[in-house]
Amino acid sequence: MKLYQRMIFILIICLPSVGCDQWTKALAAQHLPRDQMWSYFYDVLRIGYTENIGAFLSLGASLTPEIRHWIFVVGVGAFLAGLTAYLVLKNLPRITLIGFALLLSGGVSNFYDRVVNNGAVVDFLNVGIGPLRTGVFNIADMAIMLGLALVLFQGVRELKQIPSSGPL
> What's the length of the chain?
168
Q: How confident is the model at residue 102 (pLDDT cuts 50, 70, 90)?
A: very high
What integer pLDDT is reported at residue 161 of this predicted model? 84
Is 70 exceeded by the pLDDT of residue 168? no
- H-only helix segments in the chain: 3-31, 65-68, 76-89, 94-116, 139-161
Of the two residues 63 and 1, the one the predictor is more confident about is 63
Nearest-CA neighbor of 17 among 101, 96, 111?
101
Residue 118's identity, in one-letter code, is: N
DSSP reduced 3-state for 34: strand
Q: Where are the domains of the chain?
A: 3-154
pTM of the model: 0.89
Per the annotation, the verdict on 123 as an active-site residue is yes
Among the listed ranges 1-5, 24-28, 82-86, 95-99, which one has the minimum average pLDDT value? Answer: 1-5
Residues in Cβ contact with 155 at an 8 Å cutoff, skipping those fewer than 6 apart? 96
Per the annotation, the verdict on 35 as an active-site residue is no
What integer pLDDT is reported at residue 26 of this predicted model? 97
Q: How far is CA 80 from the centre of its chain?
A: 11
What integer pLDDT is reported at residue 103 of this predicted model? 98
Within 10 angstroms of residue 102's Cβ, the number of other Cβ atoms is 24
What's the chain's average pLDDT? 94
Summarize pLDDT for 104-113 with one digit per residue, the tens.
999 999 999 9
Q: What is Dmax (Cα atoms) for the chain? A: 61
User: Exactly one of 21, 43, 113, 141 is catalytic; which is it?
Assistant: 141
What integer pLDDT is reported at residue 137 of this predicted model? 95
Residue 125's identity, in one-letter code, is: L
- Residue 72's H or E segment, with its range, is none
